[in-house]
Structure 1
Amino acid sequence: MAVTAHYIDSQWKLQKRVLSFLHLPPPHTATEIVDTFYKALCEWGVEDKVFTISIDNASNNDRAMKPLKDSFRVKKKLFFGGRLFHVRCCAHILNLMVKDGIKSVENIINKIRDTVSFVNASEARLVRFSEVVQQLQLPTKKLVMDCPTRWNSTYPMLTVALRLREAFFSYNEREVAYVACPTEEE
């Protein structure tokens, strides 16, 4: 578990600090999460200065918020009646939304990945593909591979693939082993 603090200093500048990297052994129960988190707050002496907590949307994290919020309520350290105490991590929400959207074009993305892997698998294929790109006078020559676990790397791969789409069709006509060519519609 990583515990970070964001606060406004006396000069009204936003400050960010990593307070702790904590080992949280399984099982990651709500009780273990609360105890580990609260211990970190106490070590830094900020247990009475928490305004809001932003965590990802894991179910155990959600369950941990109730006892933590109750603890702050009992100590009368809950600002705005706790309405802003638990804020869901926007990056995690965005990540879930993008991954869901990617599912609708997953087969196309897989074809592009397969194409990049196929072309880059041998020097001869790479040379032949480069020749096709050169003959078509396309602006980009090098294919880009994404990292499947990092959706933000998929965009550059697809952007380059769109620029090279004509090359895929021509390359498909010359390379019989190339079977991952996207269709015109894809």
Structure 2
Amino acid sequence: MSTSYSESSQARDSGVNEEIIIETGKTKRKASAVWDHFTKFKGEHEHFEDFLSSLNPNFQLPCRNTIRSDVIDVYREEKVKVQTLLDGLSCKMSLTTDIWTSDHSRVAYCCLTAHFIDDEWELQKKILSFKKIPYPHDGDNLFNFMKENILEWNLDKKIFSVVVDNASSNDSMMRKLREWLLKDSLIPLNGDLLHVRCSAHVLNLIMQDGLSPIRGLIEKIRETVRYLNKSPSATQKFDTALRHCNLEGKRKVAMDVPNRWNSTYLLLETALPLKEAFCRLQRIDGHYQFSPSES
């Protein structure tokens, strides 16, 4: 079975949905707007159904309401299982929490995870909550999030420690949480061990401070990665630069995550052997102005 894809650059430039021609033997099926459905699911769209049918004619696509209902049912079933497990534990547990902000919508979400050793002496981790948290992300809102989830999961008598990063809002939240739990003497040792600062975050702060002398170099490498990822033309020119420098086959540079120092190390490790290629790219591509070798 052969499958071929054709795309219209004219349609793409004009903003018209691309078309994919899926050829299976002598049969051709046209599935327009397929890419839209991969990023924005519209399961009831006839073209998307046609596309799925071309992959597997026996597949019956359920409507989105059915899928939503099934997902919620599974969630409720699993939540009952986790609640039963936590209620039956005789041990204390530690909680970790962190805020994640969506790059696309800039909406902030807070995740709460429970860590404990079960009766079989196996380390377990259960995500208890992943919810949107209102702005501002201050101590009051974080405390309300923690209190709400602790009560929902009936954990107020099981907490040993809470691990958070070094944000000042977390310091405020932990003070409020400690005061609340101490009212009924629900935490051991007067809460002295309740607040645990994330060692990974502390280490990252140390490493980022140590990298400050080469911050300009790192930013140029990041700009280079962004430039190469923004268009096929830039990528093609960089491939040409690699070929000119006999560096074909070298691992490409991947963007790092600023709050993970080891990813910045990998950024530098993969960029260093490509120094000559960056210089060559600047010669053959007039739009590229981020050669890190100039730093």
The interval holding the TM-score normalised by the smaller chain is 0.7 to 0.9
1:163 aligns with 2:273: yes
Q: Structure 1, residues 57-107: CA drift from partner, whole Å, max 9, x if none? A: 222221122232123333222223322110012333334334434433221
1:5 pairs with 2:5? no
> SS at 2:269's partner residue?
helix
Given the alignment, which residue of 54, 60, 64 partners 2:163? 54
Q: Secondary structure at the match of 1:18?
A: strand
Deviations for 1:4-26, whole angstroms, at most 9, x for unmatched residues? 21111110111111222344323
The Cα RMSD (Å) is 3.2
Structure 2, unmatched stretches of 5+, are 1-109
1:128, 1:29 → 2: CA distance? 47
Using the alignment, how far apart are the partners of 2:239 and 2:152 within structure 1? 59
Please give the secondary structure, in 2, of the residue aligned with 1:63: helix
Note closer, same or farther for the CA distance 1:174–1:87 as it changes in structure 2 (3 Å cut): same
What's the counterpart of residue 195 of structure 2? 86
Task: Indicate the residue corresponding to 2:128 in structure 1.
Answer: 19
Q: Is the 8 A contact 2:156 2:186 kept in 1?
A: no
Bigger relative contact order (CA 8 A; separation at least 6): 1
TM-superposition CA deviations, 1:42-70 (whole Å, max 9, x none): 22111111100112222222112223212
- Highest CA radius of gyration, 1 or 2? 2
Bigger strand share: 2
CA distance in 2 between partners of 1:107 and 1:155 (Å): 15
Query: Secondary structure in 2 aligned to 1:46?
Result: coil
Equivalent in 147, 150, 153 of residue 44 of structure 1: 153
Unaligned runs of 5+ in 1: none
CA distance in 1, matches of 2:175, 2:226: 48
SS at match of 1:105: helix
Residues 140 and 163, structure 1, Cα contact 8 Å, conserved in 2: no
Equivalent residue for 2:179? 70
Is the contact made by 1:34 and 1:64 (CA closer than 8 Å) also made in structure 2? yes
1:147, distance to aligned residue in structure 2 (A):
5.2
Q: How many residues align structurally? A: 185
What residue in structure 1 maps to residue 15 of structure 2? none
Distance 2:152 2:270 in 1: 49
What pairs with 1:121-136 in structure 2 (closer than 5 Å)? Answer: 126-127=235-236, 129-136=238-245
Answer yes or no: is the 8 Å Cα contact 1:52–1:84 preserved in 2. Answer: yes
Tell me the TM-score normalized by structure 2: 0.51
TM-score for the superposition, normalised by structure 1: 0.75
